[in-house]
Amino acid sequence: MATMLKVNDINVFYGAIHAVKGVSFEVNEGEVVTLIGANGAGKTTILNTVAGLLHTRTGTIDFNNIHLGHFPAHKILPLGLALVPEGRQIFQQMTVEENLEMGAYTRPKNEISDSLEDIFNRFPRLKERRKQIAGTLSGGEQQMVAMGRAMMSKPKLLMLDEPSMGLAPILVDQIFDIIQELHAAGTTILLVEQNAQMALSVADRGYVLETGKIVATGTGHELLEDEAVKKAYLGG
């Protein structure tokens, strides 16, 4: 399996706050990899850095052997790296369809309608509401818009930041079903979650973060069985 994303010893700061301390990990093609950890462990910071919204002070990030350096975010997406950000961040005042179109902003116009159909097949709910203003949708539907929007760019690597946040348990199950479907369809996924149980059960591999450092790593199964991980993140 070829390495798709290679994060090597990165340090990220918010002003004087050292948020990510020498983190290294990699995501191989076709894998689902999860980063788990408590609030403030640095998970979102890592994803935002890979996506180009934040930049490293030291360390390197390579995607398909391209050195990302300090690329701005709008130049990273076209490489095939999409992020569904924390809190969804959909365009509240635009329609569902416009949100999805924005996801395909960097793609040629003639390819958009096919992708739109794909998304509507996967999320029939969004098709019914395609002309509705996205801000009026329910939380679960908004998460679908956010995921559909990211998928519109046909990413090679899809990064999901807390897709289950604030959703009812039945919707969390739905979102994880979709993640597994995308995985089965060949999309490589980097998943950040507080819901460690769910995340590890769909992941090939996982990394456990604590206050900006990776403290454990293993397959999803291994981490689910790990006593320390169980105690800290799995409620037992």
Partner 1 sequence: MTFLSHLITGLSLGSIYAIIALGYTMVYGIAKMLNFAHGDVIMVGAYVCFFAVTGFALPPLVGILLAIILCTILGVVIERLAYKPLRQAASLTVLITAIGVSYFLQNGAQILWSASPKSFPTNFFNIGESKGITLFDGGLTISYVAIVTILLCLVIMAALTFFTGKTKMGKAMRACSENKAASQLMGINVNSTISMTFAIGSALAAVAGVLMCSAYPTLMPTTGALPGIKAFTAAVFGGIGSIPGAFIGGILLGLIETFTKAYITTNLSDAVVFAVLIIVLLVKPAGLLGKYVPEKV
**Residues engaged in binding partner 1 (CB under 8 A):** 51-53, 72-75, 77-78, 82-83, 85, 87, 89-94, 98, 101-103, 105-106, 109, 133, 135-139, 142, 149-150, 153, 166
Q: How far apart are CA 140 and CA 129, in angstroms?
A: 13
Question: Shortest approach of partner 1 to residue 215 CB, angstroms?
Answer: 29
Token code pair at residue 53: 């919204």
Token code pair at residue 82: 């999409």
Q: What is the largest CA-CA distance in the chain?
A: 52
Question: Considering beta carbons, is residue 130 or 213 the nearer one to partner 1?
Answer: 130
Question: Shortest approach of partner 1 to residue 136 CB, angstroms?
Answer: 7
Side chain identity at residue 151, one-letter code: M
Question: Considering beta carbons, is residue 101 or 226 the nearer one to partner 1?
Answer: 101
Does an H or E element contain 227, and which? Answer: helix 227-233
Question: Shortest approach of partner 1 to residue 165 CB, angstroms?
Answer: 10
Residue 12, beta-bridge partner list: 20
b/e string for 86-124 if b means 16 or more Cβ within 10 A? Answer: bebebeeebbbbebbbebbeeeeeeebeebbeebbebbe
Question: Considering beta carbons, is residue 26 or 98 the nearer one to partner 1?
Answer: 98
Question: Shortest approach of partner 1 to residue 53 CB, angstroms?
Answer: 6
Q: How far apart are CA 195 and CA 160, in angstroms?
A: 13
Question: Considering beta carbons, is residue 89 or 180 the nearer one to partner 1?
Answer: 89
Question: Considering beta carbons, is residue 1 or 135 the nearer one to partner 1?
Answer: 135
Question: Shortest approach of partner 1 to residue 56 CB, angstroms?
Answer: 17
Question: Shortest approach of partner 1 to residue 173 CB, angstroms?
Answer: 20
Expressed in percent and rounded to 5, the helix, strand and coil fractions of the chain are 40, 30, 30
Question: Considering beta carbons, is residue 2 or 70 the nearer one to partner 1?
Answer: 70
